[in-house]
Amino acid sequence: MGKLAFAPVDFTRSGLHIIDSGTADGRWLVNLREQLHGKNNIYVGTDSVEKNLAKLSYPDITLEVGRIDTPWPKDWVERFDYVHQRLVLPGCEFIPVEEAVKNLVSLVKPGGWIELLEHDHNCPTSGGLDRADAMVRAIFTQNGFGYDYPLRMKGWLEDAGIVDLKQEVIDVPLGALNPNPEMAEKSTWQVTSAVKGVMPIARGPCSILSFRLPLGIPPEELEAIPDYTNREIKSRGGIQRMYIVYGRKPL
């Protein structure tokens, strides 16, 4: 997306406490740290899957296991100047998603910022991502999560007391639509890997019984989705529509 932080956090200050929830390998934190080099900030990353957490050797970055749908450590309440979370909300299993957002808000210091970013899988101009998006919509419909959560984040943050809210919608060009050849290749690879990662969920547990997969997509069509996505993103490109919402906790 070409930008690490959308919220107008005052990064000229030193000693900021920054958390990235659902951080995976902590790449976002590492990149932000590089950008803000020498500011004595404290960076924390959490993820529900321990093996996703990279072994980083930066003294100011800590990565640890933590879920958005279980209680946060009590001493983290109002500790962070900037709470960042990207592409994690669908992993909320144990509590309603608006409650998880409220719990994240509890980590923000008065005067601090929170920023949530999610992919809208219902973008009408998704190009080569069309079948993968349809598959994801079918999964989220079937599991009851729904796929309109990116559009609801602003309201959830507002209900949790966040002010100065802004929503940005960015269409990220993938593959052939990205003018930078390196980014074109990287985005094709990233999207294809993500789609492959979703396949075990899409196949579902009752596919053998019903002879049709639980999504109502015939097995041969479903299995063709990763190759189709790879080919189409490479040749005609795709669009990943991102909803980015940020706001401030009042003082």
Asked whether position 48 contacts ligand SAM by CB under 6 A, the answer is: yes
Task: Identify which of 125, 53, 64, 119 has the alpha carbon closest to the alpha carbon of residue 90.
Answer: 119
Among the listed ranges 56-64, 67-75, 162-170, 201-209, the one in contact with ligand SAM (CB under 6 A) is 67-75
Can you say how many angstroms the Cα of residue 22 is from the centroid of all Cα atoms in its chain? Answer: 8
Instruction: Point out the residue whose Cβ comes nearest to ligand SAM.
Output: 91
Q: Which is nearer to ligand SAM, 13 or 84 (CB)?
A: 84
For the bound state, the minimum distance from the C-beta of residue 177 to ligand SAM, rounded and expressed in Å, comes to 20
- Residue from 29, 44, 92, 104 touching ligand SAM (CB under 6 A): that is 92
Cβ-contact 186, 246 below 8 angstroms: no
Q: Which is nearer to ligand SAM, 81 or 115 (CB)?
A: 115
Asked whether position 165 contacts ligand SAM by CB under 6 A, the answer is: no
Asked whether position 98 contacts ligand SAM by CB under 6 A, the answer is: no
Asked whether position 56 contacts ligand SAM by CB under 6 A, the answer is: no
Asked whether position 24 contacts ligand SAM by CB under 6 A, the answer is: yes
Asked whether position 240 contacts ligand SAM by CB under 6 A, the answer is: no
Size of the site for ligand SAM (CB under 6 A): 15
Asked whether position 190 contacts ligand SAM by CB under 6 A, the answer is: no
- Residue from 6, 7, 22, 188 touching ligand SAM (CB under 6 A): that is 22
Asked whether position 67 contacts ligand SAM by CB under 6 A, the answer is: yes
Asked whether position 49 contacts ligand SAM by CB under 6 A, the answer is: yes
CA distance 178 to 171: 11
- Residue from 88, 97, 108, 139 touching ligand SAM (CB under 6 A): that is 88
Q: Which is nearer to ligand SAM, 142 or 207 (CB)?
A: 142
Asked whether position 104 contacts ligand SAM by CB under 6 A, the answer is: no
DSSP of the chain, one letter per residue? ---S--S---TTSSS-EEEEET-TTSHHHHHHHHHTTTS--EEEEEES-GGGS-----TTEEEEE--TTSPPPGGGTT-EEEEEEES-GGG--SS-HHHHHHHHHTTEEEEEEEEEEEEETT-TT-BTTHHHHHHHHHHHHHTT--S-HHHHHHHHHHHTT-EEEEEEEEEEEEGGG-SSHHHHHHHHHHHHHHHHHHHHHHH-TTHHHHSS-TTS--HHHHHTHHHHHHHHHHHT-EEEEEEEEEEE---
Q: Which is nearer to ligand SAM, 88 or 123 (CB)?
A: 88
Residue 251: how many CB atoms within 10 A of its CB? 8
Residues that bind ligand SAM (CB under 6 A): 22-24, 47-49, 52, 67-69, 86-88, 91-92
